């Protein structure tokens, strides 16, 4: 059984790219992010893997529902009757649009480096990154190291291929249809780890040793908070995994849905704490590196997150971190994730 949890190098000045202006002011970066997204060229990030992607399958179902002419032809070729179908195979891979504008690429990379350096110095967290690189070619080599590589891209998508069999009451005759498509997934930054429950009941977590960040977003706020968000997600993930393992070990589970529900609940707790930390640190970043960033952008960014289920505790996370202090909140989660979870529930119930 496998379930996804989806969400020290010296970053000194000699790792940065040359810029045509001072690196202490990233206001121009906002103008780049506001430009229309590029969707070409598309390069493969990894090989196809057989795995189920609900959104991709829903896309193909929508395609068939809109292609009534195709469905009529399939029915006719089968000789009529009640049409049925099954999914034979489905595979997918990540693809990306590289950032080809030199100034934009350099600005965003240097911004990420400066933000990470600031966060690590302020929080005294260990640096989890081995390198930060702007990705310009297909099938990048992912270093087999303990640390994490950050790949910077302009846009990220998922390419999928599926084969469907159509048949009627006579199962001896069937028609196979193969479809492929590409969907831009809107994940501006993400860090994944996988939960594996072995046959003997042993629970293991397998973490990716890379993360992909895109420099494009509908709201500049969402692209600018990525190095803050993902650095905290990476730092806090071991505590989240520990909390999940403890709950699974103490709960009688019979279905994978039960496991997924526990994982989803703890992902929401982690997102709440990270959201509270972003609320503290992003204003500090703005004060250091930007001029006149509109506050309405922050409000709109927050509103966009609140519409997503995994951010349902976000407002409580902001209140808890603000009332407790960011260092204390991180320390609490590191020692006892359940205590931080209880604080979020209490904040929701009492609106503290």
Q: What is the DSSP letter of 336?
A: -
Give kind and range of the element (H or E) at residue 340: helix 337-350
Res 176 pLDDT > 70: yes
Residue reference for tokens 């590289």: 98
Cα–Cα distance for residue pair 129/10, rounded to 1 Å: 9
Region for residue 329 given its phi and psi (left: phi exceeds 0; alpha: psi -120 to 50; beta: otherwise): alpha
CA atoms lying within 13 Å on the CB side of residue 66: 6
pLDDT tens, residue by residue, 107-155: 999 999 999 999 999 999 999 999 999 999 998 988 787 899 999 999 9
CA distances 313 to 27, 206, 232, 293, 321, Å, are: 31, 26, 17, 26, 12
Note the pLDDT tens digit of each residue in 55-91.
888 888 889 999 999 999 999 999 888 899 999 999 9
- For the chain, the domains span 2-42+96-154+187-350, 51-90+161-179
Give the CA-trace dihedral at 33, 39, 45, 49, to 10 degrees: 130
SS3 (DSSP) at 53: coil
Rg (CA), the chain: 23
Q: How confident is the model at residue 207 (pLDDT cuts 50, 70, 90)?
A: confident
Q: 254 falls in which pLDDT band (50, 70, 90)?
A: low
The Cα–Cα gap between 12 and 121 comes to 13
Say which residue the tokens 């709109």 belong to. Answer: 300
Res 3: pLDDT? 53
In this prediction, residues 336-343 reach a mean pLDDT of 97
Structure tokens at 58: 């829903």
């Amino acid at each position: 059984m496998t379930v996804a949890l989806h969400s020290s190098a010296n970053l000194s000045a000699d790792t940065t790219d040359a810029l045509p202006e001072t690196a202490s002011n990233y206001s121009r970066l906002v103008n780049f992010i506001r430009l229309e997204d590029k969707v070409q060229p598309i390069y493969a990030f990894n090989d196809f893997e057989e795995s189920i992607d609900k959104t991709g399958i829903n896309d193909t179902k929508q395609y068939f529902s809109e292609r009534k002419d195709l469905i009529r032809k399939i029915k006719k070729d089968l000789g009529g009757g009640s049409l049925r179908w099954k999914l034979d195979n489905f595979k997918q891979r990540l693809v990306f649009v590289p950032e080809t504008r030199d100034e934009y690429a350099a600005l965003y990379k240097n911004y990420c480096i400066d933000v990470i350096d600031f966060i690590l110095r302020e929080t005294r967290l260990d640096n989890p990154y081995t390198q930060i690189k702007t990705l310009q070619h297909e099938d990048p080599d992912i270093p087999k190291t303990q640390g994490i590589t950050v790949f910077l891209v302009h846009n990220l998508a998922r390419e999928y291929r599926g084969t469907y069999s159509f048949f009627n009451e006579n199962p001896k005759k069937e028609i196979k249809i193969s479809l492929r498509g590409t969907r831009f997934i809107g994940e501006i930054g993400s860090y994944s780890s996988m939960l594996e429950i072995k046959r003997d009941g042993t629970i293991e977590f397998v973490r990716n040793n890379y993360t992909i960040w895109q420099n494009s977003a509908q709201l500049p706020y969402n692209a600018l908070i990525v190095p803050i968000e993902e650095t905290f997600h990476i730092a806090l993930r071991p505590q989240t995994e520990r909390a999940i393992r403890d709950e699974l070990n103490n709960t009688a589970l019979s279905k994978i849905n039960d496991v997924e529900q526990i994982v989803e609940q703890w992902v929401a707790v982690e997102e709440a704490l990270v959201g509270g930390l972003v609320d503290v640190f992003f204003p500090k970043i703005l004060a250091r590196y930007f001029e006149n960033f509109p506050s309405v952008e922050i409000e709109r960014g927050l509103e966009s997150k609140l519409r997503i289920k995994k951010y349902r505790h976000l407002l409580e996370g902001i209140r808890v971190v603000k009332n407790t202090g960011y260092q204390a909140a991180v320390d609490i989660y590191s020692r006892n994730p359940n205590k931080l979870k209880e604080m979020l529930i209490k904040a929701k119930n009492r609106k503290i």
